Structure 1
Amino acid sequence: MAEMIQGSSQWLEARCGRFTASRGHEAFAFRKDGKPYAARENYIMEVVAERLTGYATQHFVSSAMMDGQEREPQAADAYAFLFGADLTQVGFVEHPQIPMSGASPDRLVGEDGLLEIKCPTIKTHLDTLLCGEIPEEYLAQMRWQMACTGRQWCDFASWHPSVPAHLRLWVKRLHRDDAQIAKDEAAVVAFLAEVDARVAKLLGTDQAEAA
């Protein structure tokens, strides 16, 4: 596990050109007919571009996203207090068997757990409370974090400080599912193979071999 500050230049460099957990939902996005959604294609080309340029893709950060980033330490402190948990920050964790892939968990919890923190708008926070389920778009991210770290569970935490105290922190646990993680790992291998093939084609490897 690389000890670095998430968001730092070192962290961005470590992730550049790799498959990362936060984009798992896009990488695994296939229609019922087996065809990929546009989000998957877009992500493939982002990684290809990073491989060719050595620069991490720049993504738009809205004011709401910046506000959420600023509130993350509050959420972590609230979780640690409520559950008496020992939390550890970590930078980038490479997958132990699949090169060019990894994850950046928000926190390690004790010896076996992870914590994925979301600090959304108040509407999204309340929607999550009413639904009572972890939003589907984060499940792949949480599973891949477990795949990379070997941890047994990941707690999803939604936090908003403006609601009544008992509604500010909502937590639900996702337990490790080795069968599903194996499917995810196969999907990541296929994703990275597509990236490798496109990079090779763009660099002219095919033409050089033909000559």
Structure 2
Amino acid sequence: MSDLDLIQGSDAWLEARVGSLGASRIAEAVARTKTGWGASRANLMAEMVAERLTGTPADRFTNAAMQWGTEKEPEARAAYEFLTDVDVAVVGIVRHPAIEGTHASPDGLVGGEGLVEIKCPNTATHIDTLLGQKVPEKYVTQMQWQMACTGRRWCDFASYDPRLPEAMRLFVKRVERDDALIATLENDIAAFLAELAEKVTNLRALYCGEERAAA
């Protein structure tokens, strides 16, 4: 089975992502403060070091809101297809064409040039999106990386909440590919992954070498 054919959320999909930086974590990898890299970058780095050393997926916290989003995603996808009169093709993993160790798992391919990113947030967040009429910045970063991996030209952001009146349940806003932003992200992610690989190499040299010597 190819990466594209993997079912998102399956054991095979989780295993295929081990040690690889996904689009949903790109914002953490490039987070900056006034004085340098943000704490989220160091935490993500440590998590990925552990994944590469052990070969097993990191345990990630799941709460009721996250479970709600997972359960409602097919319903949201169907609503998006109906509203936009398109068919969405579901895929598993798309590796970056030039940078090894990073990937995207978009919520769907749309036609020959598009993607869709689906969120089923809590009602307060959905209402803020309806009123603000814009895509949260962290999702813009995620969507741009999805476009970098897939070569697509645009990505529709879809926020869905069936707990509201029908006219307010689905918000859709298109984000166009930004090649300049993608180039900046690619430089930052390449540096992140090089640092990650160096840490893994150094840890193995320090500790795996000692284990061999003791044996």
User: Residue 25 of structure 1 corresponds to which residue in structure 2?
Assistant: 27
Deviations 1:94-126 (A, max 9, x none): 001111110000011111100000000011100
Aligned mates of 1:142, 1:36 — CA distance in 2: 21
Q: Does structure 2 retain, via aligned residues, the 8 Å contact 1:200–1:206? A: no
1: distance between equivalents of 2:46 and 2:109? 31
Q: Mark the runs of 5 or more structure 2 residues left unpaired by the alignment.
A: 210-215
- Please give the secondary structure, in 2, of the residue aligned with 1:133: coil
Equivalent residue for 2:213?
none
- Report the Cα distance in structure 2 between the residues aligned to 1:84 and 1:194, rounded to whole angstroms: 44
Letter in 2 for 1:101: T
Amino acid of the residue matched to residue 180 of structure 1? L
The percentage of aligned residue pairs carrying the same residue is 52
Moved more, 88-97 or 128-137: 128-137
Q: C-alpha deviations, 1:160-211, integer Å up to 9, x for none?
A: 0011111000011110011110111111100101101110110117998xxx
- Structure 1 runs (4+) greater than 4 angstroms displaced: 205-208
Residue pairs, 1:1-211, within 5 angstroms: 2-33=4-35, 35-204=36-205
* 1:140 Cα deviation after fit: 1.1
In 1: Cα distance, 2:208 partner to 2:202 partner: 8
Q: One-letter code of the match for 1:22?
A: S
**Distance of 1:73 and 1:195 partners within structure 2:** 35
Residue-pair matches, total: 207
One-letter amino acid of the counterpart of residue 108, structure 1: L
Contact 1:162 1:168 in 2 (8 A): yes
Q: Can you list the C-alpha shifts for 1:128-179, whole angstroms capped at 9, x where unaligned?
A: 1111110111111101000000000000000000111110000111100111
Shift in Å, 1:64 = 1.2
**1:170, 1:178 → 2: CA distance?**
25
SS of residue paired to 2:115: strand
Residue identity opposite 1:63 in structure 2: A
Distance in 2, matches of 1:41 and 1:124, equals: 27
RMSD: 1.5
- SS of 2:4's equivalent in the other structure is coil
TM-score for both structures, normalised by structure 2: 0.93
Q: CA deviation at 1:32?
A: 2.6
2:65 maps to amino acid: A
